[in-house]
Structure 1
Amino acid sequence: MVTTLDVRDETAFALGLEVFAKRNFEHALSAMLQRGNLDIVVNNAGFRKRMPLDEIVSVNMRSVFLRCQLFSAVTKAAGYGRIVIVTSLALHRGGTVASGSASLCLPKCSLCISILTLGLLLLCS
């Protein structure tokens, strides 16, 4: 069990990656598994600026779905693991946080339902 993080990244490490493509998550997962067990994954990607809806959905919803899809299979096979998903206040307060933009809130709300569904699927399997 990791009780502290060290500066040498021996017990835990952060991994930044471009979240638009599934293959990037596959490479990240491979890098993680080469270091040992996958105990916890923290999803923390998102945009708050205005941009085309497809790009917002790709980062704020699709990328989290892809991570959960890949990493949950590994944690399920291992019999243990945690997936932490960081969202935003837009999920709870709507457009007031996101400057009135429904396009920023839509992926977060969809993500909430997906998280609940994933949890139920993993719990019941």
Structure 2
Amino acid sequence: MNKIDMPSAGTLKEGKERYRSGVIPYKKMGYWEPDYRPKETDLIAMFRITPQPGVDHEEAAAAIAGESSTATWTVVWTDRLTACELYRAKAFKSEPVPNTGPGTRIEQQYFAYIAYDLDLF
């Protein structure tokens, strides 16, 4: 697998870089939007997550948003005909679950908040 050299900030939602071989973090693909404010037409889901060791909780939340919306879509020429941005889920908040993590017997867990536009359904 090829490693993709990417800037430390920003996202890769469009263009050739998004479709290069290799692994692109979900946060870089636009599935993590901490400044996003849910719309009235969004369905909000809260997931309780336990990221694998070494995986940032925001990246884990973004991965859930991606894999439950458009990240699994196959890239074809008709992508230009589909409003992928509309259907892309947005993880916008991740907060620690109380009584988990250091000082407890339970590994650190988080509540991940993800917004889905109703048109996805």
TM range (shorter): under 0.3
Higher strand share: 2
Give the TM-score normalised by structure 1.
0.26
